[in-house]
A and B are shown apart, each in its own frame.
Chain A
């Protein structure tokens, strides 16, 4: 595994040997993590990997079973009001008073904090000015999520927690949320987020921790994670359905240039090789002689997704069922 940078000066979050057990389920099984001030850090992993549990321990919602945790210099489990005033939490799908307007809810929550951000500024930040007088119950899903973000920002936090911030967003709304995170960190503040979307982690995070089955199995920049894992060239293709029957299927190569051909769950084939010229030569040669059509042939460098899938597979879990 890629090891954490041994120590970061002035970490906002410092975690050593974190464990959390629910009954006889070990949800978090020994995590070490440092997040620096001003950083955007993403916990990436399949559903059930322990991301939300980890985040909720760092937020002060849950008490850990073992290990040391320090956030903004204090133990979040103590739930000190001074600590809670310095963080902002955007939870997954959480209720808001339905019979208040957007402005009233923001005023209500801003009133909980010692140094709140002005409500008009919050409305501007999440672009809800036009919906300020709308009752929460009449908001669209995307508007509610933006209100969630605004509520997380109400206390003018130094550290923002985002638990799957864009799940259920359309692509445009996702871009909007990403811009918001970027503008927040631009002000020198720290963000820790969870996601199971590779592109989100790659687009937002300075560093990524890949979490599988309660452990961080890779930690670093997207480039470091890809470099440390999936190397070489990735070749992907599929063959036309009409041609994949009869004698051709039997002749389908199981290796190309000495590398094993992988069967993807969607019926496609993939291969990782350090000798792309030879592999492609063999592949196209086979296709030519057999009269097979190679659909959707793609050749590229290994991506974060490749590295991620490899990491998840290597740590013994089937992601095809729970990754989106």
Chain B
């Protein structure tokens, strides 16, 4: 109960700081939406099928960006700036700070998915995923939690905040390519096979399924992949976590 109260207290402060930080707002919100409007409007990708592909794809991108990328970078920054050290000197347990950080990212991811759906429906006439709502909600929450845990694990591996963007992008960008996010891959292609080993492809698949009227292709195994990677991320994070910069 006390821990819950502390987490809510911290999430509120995180949210306030997040809204005021122009870089965070741009990369997390503006970037995916800009991307959606651009790819959907591109002539060779246009047409209903193209936009139908890109709404779930950008929703996936949004979740990964708001959770994996943001958590890894923010935790590395907070560590380098000494925020973690300061928190570590108070009675607030470090895990509540980290959980608050991840809860905030998950809320942002959820909000972004809603915005992406709304923009898709209003500007690009992509139908709302009405029958897919349960799949969508479960996939976004599990996907966000999984990405947060992996972001936390990577934050522990990143040597310092200056190296954070390079490390995080080196991991995330190739995954977008092999996971049906930037481009639609042929089902049997080698890239798709590589992608299927990582959580992003499974999140993307669940979201693509959510837009399919009869939820054809839904596979609970995709959810299990997210859970598995999430647990692995958490276990790794426990081992790699540092509250002070490497000296």
Pair B91/A112 contact, Cβ less than 8 Å: yes
**Given A104-B16, A108-B10, also A94-B85 (CB < 8 A):** yes
Please tell me if A237 contacts chain B, counting CB pairs below 8 Å: no
Pair B13/A108 contact, Cβ less than 8 Å: yes
Most central of A82, A97, A155 by chain B CB within 10 Å? A97
Pair A99/B21 contact, Cβ less than 8 Å: yes
Quote the shortest CB–CB distance from B216 to chain A (angstroms).
45
Pair A84/B91 contact, Cβ less than 8 Å: yes
Among listed B75-83, B122-130, B223-231, interface-contacting one: B75-83
Pair A93/B9 contact, Cβ less than 8 Å: no
**B-facing residues in A92-107 (Cβ within 8 Å):** 93-100, 104
Pair B89/A97 contact, Cβ less than 8 Å: no
Please tell me if A171 contacts chain B, counting CB pairs below 8 Å: no
Please tell me if B86 contacts chain A, counting CB pairs below 8 Å: yes
Pair B82/A89 contact, Cβ less than 8 Å: no
Pair A112/B17 contact, Cβ less than 8 Å: no
Please tell me if A246 contacts chain B, counting CB pairs below 8 Å: no
On chain A, the number of residues with a Cβ less than 8 Å from chain B's Cβ atoms is 28
Please tell me if A69 contacts chain B, counting CB pairs below 8 Å: no
Please tell me if A135 contacts chain B, counting CB pairs below 8 Å: yes
Q: Mark A282-297, 1 if CB is under 8 A from B, else 0.
A: 0000000000000000
Quote the shortest CB–CB distance from A44 to chain B (angstroms).
23
Q: Nearest chain-A residue to B247 (Cβ)? A: A22
Pair B83/A95 contact, Cβ less than 8 Å: yes
Q: Mark B157-201, 1 if CB is under 8 A from A, else 0.
A: 000000000000000000000000000000000000000000000
Pair B88/A61 contact, Cβ less than 8 Å: yes
Pair B91/A97 contact, Cβ less than 8 Å: no
CA distance A158 to B42 in the complex (A): 65
Quote the shortest CB–CB distance from A56 to chain B (angstroms).
9
Most central of B78, B80, B82 by chain A CB within 10 Å? B82
CA distance A261 to B119 in the complex (A): 84
Interface residues of A, Cβ cutoff 8 Å to B: 59-61, 81-82, 84-85, 87, 89, 91, 93-100, 104, 108-109, 111-114, 135, 151, 155
Interface residues of B, Cβ cutoff 8 Å to A: 6, 9-10, 13, 16-18, 20-21, 78, 80-83, 85-93
5 A-B contacts, Cβ less than 8 Å apart?
A91-B85, A98-B17, A99-B18, A113-B90, A135-B20
